[in-house]
Structure 1
Amino acid sequence: MNLDTLVATPTPAWPGPDIQWDPSREMYRARAEALADLKLPREAAVPDGFPDRVRAAWAWDGADFAGDDYVVRLGRADVDEVERALAYYKSLSGTRTPADVCRETFPLPRLQRTLKGVANVLHLGRGFSVIRGLKPQNYSALDNVIIYLGITSYVAERRGCQDSSGNMIIHIKDLGNEVPDSDMRQSPYATNGQPFHTDVCDILAMYVQEQAQHGGESHLASGAKVYNEIAAKRPDVIHTLSDPSWIFDKIPAYWNTRALLFNYEGKGPGFCFSRRPITGSPTSPRSPGVPPMTEVQAEALDMVHFTAVDHALTMRLQRGDIQLINNLAVFHARSGFIDSPTHTRHIIRLWLRNEELAWKTPEGLQKTWFEKYGDSERRKIARWNIRPGATRERILFRSDSCS
């Protein structure tokens, strides 16, 4: 079947494996033991073209980071230059929108060398970085967006559309107190934790406007490390993950298929998936009629998550931090959090792409990447939300979600 084809399907007779969006290690171990007892034939080597082991800077263990060497600290001179660039952008004549923020309209002649280094770290190095030193409380909502777009334009200049409504910016903030009857809201607008996943972009950027009173820690894990651990012990699972038969529940009563693991040209294996379209979640149950995954796939999915957990790096971001992640090399997750009247978690998210350094998009993702970065219909209605908030449909229903 064509990977880009949406397929309608009758209701399956078997409901599928007992697997949750929020993974259970106990259930994972029980499933692994039950499958081992069946003595099913298993591949003894990774698929053709896949390496036995990734030997690259982005293959790391969380224990490798004793401190916060991944933080790039902006000094007073750097912040002054950012503020001069902001003033320059605002002085330009004509009606301007956030889409007009770029290297030419937001000049950073001194800081651009540092930011180019960050871009290299993301694409050729460990795959993540944190820029620290901004004070978002010193700027208006619009100025914070302009500063954010200006700085990140030197890291990855092309911005991705994040959902079918054309939103170029997503504000991650709990909206439970603002939207009536929204107990079952999507994760960007709730306080729950999230399991390890990737977004559908090249570079994920998160600008922290405010942190929660408690919780909300950021967890990262190297996809290459996850791959290496699984390939060494269970090469058959690499076959399962790279098979294009995984079913993604995208629109009620329809589904499409693709792999979870791709072999990026010149870079090696990289993952691209989140659990929600595969397992369903409390806020987004699987649509009736969508075929279930297999028990073998369920074991593989949980194996990826718990391998990531075992080798993760945890950080608590500070107000003003810009976290940048190579989404194709690094998984991310978050802890649940509790807000207070004085500390309400608020993060501005961008999806970015550096056309010069970007990993080559594999065939199985080209349609999705065109929707995000190409001249797609959703990009033609691009919207730039300066302040937090979202439509009720965006908050409650997956049909307008970003995954």
Structure 2
Amino acid sequence: MTSVIEVLRRPCTGPAVWRGPDLADSEEWVLRLSPAQIGELEAALRTVRERSLPLLKVDAGDFPVPALAGELERIADVLENGRGFVLVKRIPVERYSPAAASTIFWGLGRHLGIPVSQNAAGHMLGHARDTGRSMADPATRGYQTRAGLPFHTDGSDVLGLLCLRAARSGARITVVSSAAVYNDVLARRPDLVERLYRTHFLDRREEQVPGEQPYSAVPLACWYGGKLSLRYNRCYLESAQRFPAVPALEPADVELFDLIDELADSPELRLDVDFEVGDLLLLNNHTVLHSRTEYEDFAEPERQRHVLRLWLALRQGRDLPPDFWGTLHRSGGGPGRGGITPRDVIATQKSADLGDTRRHGHRHPPKS
């Protein structure tokens, strides 16, 4: 049953409403790890290795970080109840193999939430890198290309990114408060706000389970339990138009999307993040939009940009109405809260840098 839609017609308030210029010279959103905290991460890594645990079987209890536990609880609270993003600097990834860095990243993520699948192949730990695929290909996802990515949200409560190698140039990440964008839409075009709560159609980019629709029908916004949640991916909204069953976008929809894009990229709202090697960026997809500029990479494969990616369902995540995830997912916490339904495998993403991926927790061997 579709829930009763409550539209927020007044400005959103609280810590989730922020403007980039107010944070640009502040470090309140930055956590700089101390040598003792880094040592604790390395001790937890040794614990995992000594037990020979496959990566996907590592839980928070298998990755003990007692001194960091309080900081991680604070981060989880900031993600859900605060500004919605945190930048952790600087995990010394140059000391570790990609497999070891992946274990540290996964272990930290497990203290914050439950990983969910990022694609139909069941990849729980993703690798954001250029594969040479064109964004014009409907099966291409943004992390597979060096092309710039407009402001958008990903399909989970929280997105985590850990930079192992930086691009030669470009790849600047920018974040913006969804609530601040919403407030400015309300101020400039109140006639468009209710349109956010209507059913919209998002291309599933060929990742649907056989027999399912190739698009999802979901609202872009919901006001529920006293919290505003906003999802937005214009590329997927527009590419869903290729399906005959999807209603054509109305002129007012295009006006709304244009306004969101304009506001998100405005210097008055956005915050540019220096995302450097060893940085871990965590953001709540319900409260923060993010983008990435086009980048130029190095010619040598071993020097090319490599970013690890997690999608997490927060253990203490917000209540969401039953129709927020459409018919594709449950609305409760844990697995099924966001993510993409795997076809037949749960795995870490295959990467030449990680060597034998079977050590990292494939339940079934990946298909060629």
TM-score, normalisation: structure 1: 0.76
Instruction: Choose the corresponding residue for 1:143, options 84, 100, 110.
Output: 100
The residue correspondences of 1:299-314 to structure 2 (distance < 5 A) are 299-310=255-266, 311-314=269-272
- 8 Å contact kept, 1:85–1:106: yes
| 1:355 shift after superposition | 1.6
Question: Deviation of residue 380 (structure 1)?
Answer: 6.5
Q: Which runs of 5+ in 2 are unaligned?
A: 207-212, 354-368
Give the distance between the partners of 1:54 and 1:339, measured in 2 at CA. 40
SS in 1 for 2:41: helix
**Partner residue, 1:378:** 342
2:277 corresponds to: 319
**Uncovered stretches (5+) of structure 1, i.e. residues with no partner:** 4-46, 390-403
Amino acid corresponding to residue 10 of structure 2 in structure 1: D
Change in CA separation of 1:203 and 1:348 when aligned onto 2, cut-off 3 Å: same
Evaluate the alpha carbon distance shift between residue 90 and residue 200 of structure 1 in structure 2; reply closer, same or farther with a 3 A threshold.
same
- Within 1, Cα distance between the matches of 2:30 and 2:350? 26
Of residues 239, 250, 272 in structure 1, which corresponds to 2:204? 250
Q: 1:99 Cα deviation (Å)?
A: 1.7
**1:135 Cα deviation after fit:** 1.7
Q: Contact conserved, 1:60 with 1:126, CA < 8 A, in 2?
A: yes
Q: Distance in 2 between matches of 1:255 and 1:211?
A: 33
Match in the other structure for 1:15: none
- Identity of counterpart residues, as a percentage? 26
Answer yes or no: is the 8 Å Cα contact 1:89–1:106 preserved in 2. Answer: yes
CA change 1:87–1:254 in 2 (3 A) is closer
**1:227-264 deviations in whole A, cap 9, x for unaligned?**
111112222111111112x2333367854422111113
1:66 — aligned with what? 24
* Paired residue type of 2:265: V
* Of 157, 160, 167, the match for 2:113: 157
Q: How many residues align?
A: 333
Q: Per-residue CA shift, 1:260-303, capped at 9, x if unaligned?
A: 11113231x221131122112xxx98345643211111111111
1:168 is paired with a residue whose SS is strand
Contact 1:161–1:167 under 8 Å retained in 2? yes
Asked whether 1:236 is paired with 2:198, we answer no
Question: Residues 210 and 85 from structure 1, CA distance in 2 versus in 1: closer, same or farther, beyond 3 angstroms?
Answer: same
Residue 151 of structure 1 and its aligned partner are, at CA, apart by: 1.5
8 A contact 2:149–2:293 mirrored in 1: yes
Q: Determine if contact 1:75/1:133 at 8 Å carries over to the other structure.
A: no
**Gap change, CA 1:273 and 1:295, over 3 Å in 2:** same
Letter in 1 for 2:165: E
Letter in 1 for 2:62: T
Relative to structure 1, is the Cα distance of residues 377 and 203 closer, same or farther in structure 2, using a 3 angstrom cutoff? Answer: closer
Kept in 2: contact 1:206–1:350 (CA 8 A): yes
Give the partner amino acid of 1:299: E
Partner of 1:85: 44
CA distance in 1, matches of 2:136, 2:352: 18
CA distance in 2, matches of 1:386, 1:187: 17
Residues 63/248 of structure 1: CA separation in 2 closer, same or farther (3 Å cut): same
Change (3 A) 1:387 1:136: farther
Amino acid of the residue matched to residue 236 of structure 2? P
Give the AA of the match of 2:50. S
Query: Alpha carbons of 1:110 and 1:304: their partners in 2 closer, same or farther (altered >3 Å)?
Result: same
- Residues 66, 167 of structure 1: CA spacing in aligned structure 2 closer, same or farther, 3 A cutoff? closer
Q: Is the 8 A contact 1:169 1:348 kept in 2?
A: yes
Cross-structure match for 1:38: none
Find runs of 4+ consecutive structure 1 residues off by over 6 angstroms: none
Q: Whose Rg is larger?
A: 1
